[in-house]
Structure 1
């Protein structure tokens, strides 16, 4: 990747796993934001995510550590740590070490997924992960959709791409014709970048026989910071999607994509039927076409924008600046010789 002038340690919510990947009493190793971490689920079902190393003598809790009730136990000397990272028991001492603490991360579990809040300064969450199934302005909920994981998901680890590339895709109306082969460019009907959670709506059609003036379908997108984007499709196949891009280190990110297909009336099956699987695969195929571009993209600053593109990209890049550490904020597009105004 041509390294962009953007920090790979933005503030916000980021997906680190799907819920089903971490069972009761299990410990899950991972690396995000250039930091070794563990996620573990207590026997009462709650997930904790913390730095991976025991504060005693530095053993990695993901290599031999185990869960005992609501605690994770170090494999080296049996020190026990709670979900807040506090030492609560040393098996060969009368008292725990109250002065040492493993850094933990706020966790949100919804959308069949596990998210952590990342802030290099340790700040608390100030916006929420969108609920992709019941968070839109309609009467739909989780019971109206087939489960996504594992049959309707995509995981692409260690890609050389930046989370902002994915967010910029939402305002890039022109790419739909060339990447997704739609018959005409979408009409962006809403840009709202006034809050940490932003909104982008547009009309779109995939039917070659339809005229632009007759389009009666579209997408509503909710972007929670730079790490999570939820979409609702309307007027076409009933589906919801969740895109999550989580930096691994200064050069790569993991990409997760989940698709929910609306249930057939009366079908309460816990499995994704063949017809719904076919539809989900088609949605994933479209997303994969985007990944092929992002994984080899260079950050263009300032970009050579047309008049029609200028407003959306300018608003999004200004909005994105709030999530970066102060010393490495994202640039804002500016007019240049290559920008059509």
Structure 2
């Protein structure tokens, strides 16, 4: 993939694990944004994500580090670090080293996932990570759905913004996913860091039908560049969560989750099996997108058709706020292309 002219250190909430990967007392290793990181869960259940190296002599705390109550103990010399990354005990000294601190990250656990707030300028979170149920304000909960089905693929040469731009790309549905007609977008709301995109779509019928006769669609909520949640209506009830997290200057990890709704009074083994099959089909369709994104060149300015300008201009302008230099994508170039 041609390296995109987009920063791989954007600001926002990004998934680094699933909650059930980190049991009480566990230390979980990972690498994101070019940093070796660990996540550990204290006896109280509190989860901490921090950079991986002990500030004493640089031992990697993910290789032999141990949870002791509410602190993490280094395997090298027994130094203990609290949930704020501060040294609270040197076992062979009378007092801790109060001058050194391991970088920690704001953490939320939502959607059965672990999200960290990443901002290279050290700012506090200025928007919330969306919830695949509560954010749609329809009274739904995880209990209304079959267990979450997951996809996890590592090391793809792709940028999180590619995935978000898919949300305004009406033309790809017919050619990538085989929809009989192009969907129609009914909402583009990019006024805040959390944005909203709704569209009418069908996967059934033929190309002779009219979009006005379609009674199904998707509502999407984008929590910055890192998380998108969707709700489908008028078709098999499903919710999805996509989370793309940069690993280094070229690659990202991809996580995708789907929930299929239960039908009250029809909780049979056959219904559960069909729900699993449909979930796998949703994941298959997402893999179709990944195959494109992972080999894509970021086109700036893109050669857009007239009907595409509004959506792509809006989302690329919206995305600028998440880049350290405010220049993550050239919206000016996009507008110049439109003028031509």
Q: Among residues 177, 180, 188, which one is paired with 1:180 in the alignment?
A: 177
For the residues of structure 1 that align with 2:262 and 2:24, how far apart are their CA atoms?
28
Preserved CA contact (<8 Å) 1:134 1:142: no
Aligned partner of 2:320 in structure 1 is 321
Range with bigger deviation, 207-216 or 170-179: 207-216
SS of 1:8 mapped into structure 2: coil
Aligned partner of 2:305 in structure 1 is 306
Aligned partner of 2:152 in structure 1 is 155
Shift of 1:45: 1.1
Shift of 1:340: 9.0
For the residues of structure 2 that align with 1:24 and 1:289, how far apart are their CA atoms?
36
Aligned partner of 1:189 in structure 2 is 186
For the residues of structure 2 that align with 1:131 and 1:222, how far apart are their CA atoms?
9
Aligned partner of 1:199 in structure 2 is 196
**2:111 aligned with 1:111:** yes
Shift of 1:78: 0.4
* Cα-to-partner distance string for 1:3-29 (whole Å, 9 max, x where unaligned): 111000000000000111111110000
**2:170 aligned with 1:170:** no
Aligned partner of 1:15 in structure 2 is 15
Shift of 1:267: 7.2
Aligned partner of 2:220 in structure 1 is 221
Aligned partner of 1:254 in structure 2 is 253
Aligned partner of 2:282 in structure 1 is 283
* Cα-to-partner distance string for 1:297-329 (whole Å, 9 max, x where unaligned): 000000011111000000000000000011653
Residue correspondences, number: 335
Aligned partner of 2:140 in structure 1 is 140
Shift of 1:294: 0.2
Preserved CA contact (<8 Å) 2:313 2:335: no
SS of 1:326 mapped into structure 2: coil
SS of 2:318 mapped into structure 1: helix
SS of 2:286 mapped into structure 1: helix
For the residues of structure 2 that align with 1:172 and 1:72, how far apart are their CA atoms?
46
Aligned partner of 2:99 in structure 1 is 99
Aligned partner of 2:126 in structure 1 is 126
Name stretches of at least 5 consecutive residues in structure 1 with no aligned partner: none
* Cα-to-partner distance string for 1:215-252 (whole Å, 9 max, x where unaligned): 00000000011000000001101110000000000000
Preserved CA contact (<8 Å) 2:320 2:326: no
SS of 1:170 mapped into structure 2: helix
Name stretches of at least 5 consecutive residues in structure 2 with no aligned partner: none
Provide runs of 4+ in structure 1 moved above 6 Å.
none
Preserved CA contact (<8 Å) 1:307 1:340: no
For the residues of structure 2 that align with 1:121 and 1:186, how far apart are their CA atoms?
39
Aligned partner of 1:35 in structure 2 is 35
Preserved CA contact (<8 Å) 1:304 1:340: no
For the residues of structure 2 that align with 1:92 and 1:199, how far apart are their CA atoms?
55
**2:234 aligned with 1:235:** yes
Preserved CA contact (<8 Å) 1:305 1:340: no
Distance 1:178 1:340, change over 3 A: farther
Normalised by the length of structure 2, the TM-score is 0.95
Normalised by the length of structure 1, the TM-score is 0.95
SS of 2:136 mapped into structure 1: coil
RMSD of aligned Cα (Å): 1.7
Aligned partner of 1:87 in structure 2 is 87
Shift of 1:335: 4.9
